[in-house]
């Protein structure tokens, strides 16, 4: 499969739309025309949201699930994209361009002998696609670490899926970090950049993938560059 298929127009219909929690919604679009999408994990789609406007959202499902597109959306911003998506119901049709983006994992055999993923909020979306593609479909053997930052415990989701990956694959470890944890929170608290600084011994053998808030991506890039990881091995997607 070519990992860089040319983008084209897709017509799909909403098969699922539900609230994950007070902050995030999940969507599934069943593809109508074309009915299959060839993409690389980490890529995104550009949805028509009305008035000639488009908004970009990362694909959550891995490429082996190619008959639908799953999205995870932060519904709190009151922009055009959020308003359009929040009102979608099962059966509604949507149009989007796909696949788009160059955020993709370098394969084994290149310089990246170990992989670190850093995400905040629903910046986890393309990284979930990458992790399930690497571990379940490609049977990746490299050491893989995930640090995922959220504000509050109520915002946590998908932790069960990632814990299952940890159980099945010895080479994968994850840590969820809360910047505003409740009292007696037993796990990591603070910012993921601080945790990476404290816990990771990074060098030129690592590939680093960042997605989430602009602040985290900028801070993360600066930190990783200071730890001797070559610039070309630092990959990021900002929304």
If asked whether residues 228 and 172 sit together in one domain, one would say: yes
Range picked from 58-62, 79-83, 102-106, 196-200 for highest mean pLDDT: 58-62
If asked whether residues 37 and 72 sit together in one domain, one would say: yes
Neighbouring CB atoms inside 10 A of 173's CB total: 14
pLDDT at position 2: 43
User: What CATH number does residue 35 fall under?
Assistant: 2.40.30.10
pLDDT at position 239: 57
pTM assigned to the model: 0.94
Neighbouring CB atoms inside 10 A of 100's CB total: 16
If asked whether residues 137 and 224 sit together in one domain, one would say: yes
| Mean predicted confidence (pLDDT) in 140-167 | 93
**Considering 54, 73, 100, which residue would you say is the last residue of a domain?**
100
Is 2 a domain residue?
no
Range picked from 36-40, 102-106, 224-228 for highest mean pLDDT: 36-40
Segment 196-203 long-range contacts (CB within 8 Å, at least 24 positions apart) = 196/116, 196/118, 196/147, 196/220, 196/223, 196/224, 197/223, 200/116, 200/145, 200/227, 202/116, 202/227, 202/228, 202/229, 203/227, 203/228, 203/229
If asked whether residues 14 and 92 sit together in one domain, one would say: yes
Is 106 a domain residue?
no
**Structural domains in the chain (count):** 2
If asked whether residues 41 and 130 sit together in one domain, one would say: no
DSSP code of residue 221: H
User: Domain of 173?
Assistant: 114-238
pLDDT at 136 over 90: yes
* H-only helix segments in the chain: 80-86, 124-132, 159-168, 192-199, 214-226
Is 211 a domain residue?
yes
If asked whether residues 191 and 92 sit together in one domain, one would say: no
If asked whether residues 119 and 145 sit together in one domain, one would say: yes
């Amino acid at each position: 499969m070519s990992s860089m298929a040319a983008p084209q127009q897709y017509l799909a219909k909403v098969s699922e739309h539900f609230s994950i929690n007070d902050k995030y919604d999940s969507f599934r679009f069943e593809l109508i025309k074309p009915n299959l999408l060839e993409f690389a994990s980490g890529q995104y789609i550009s949805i028509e949201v009305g008035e000639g406007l488009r908004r970009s959202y990362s694909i959550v499902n891995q490429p082996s699930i190619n008959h639908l597109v799953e999205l995870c959306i932060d519904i709190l911003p009151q922009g055009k994209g959020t308003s359009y998506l929040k009102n979608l119901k099962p059966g509604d049709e949507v149009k989007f361009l796909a696949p788009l983006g160059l955020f993709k994992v370098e394969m084994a055999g290149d310089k990246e002998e170990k992989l670190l993923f850093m995400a905040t909020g629903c910046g986890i979306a393309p990284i979930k696609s990458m992790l399930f593609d690497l571990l379940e479909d490609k049977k990746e053997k490299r050491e893989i670490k995930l640090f995922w930052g959220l504000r509050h415990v109520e915002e946590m989701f998908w932790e069960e899926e990632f814990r299952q990956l940890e159980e099945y694959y010895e080479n994968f470890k994850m840590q969820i970090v809360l910047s505003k944890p409740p009292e007696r929170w037993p796990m990591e608290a603070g910012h993921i950049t601080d945790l990476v600084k404290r816990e990771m011994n990074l060098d030129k053998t690592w590939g680093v993938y960042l997605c989430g808030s602009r602040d985290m991506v900028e801070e993360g890039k600066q930190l990783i560059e200071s730890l001797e990881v070559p610039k070309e091995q630092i990959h990021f997607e900002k929304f």
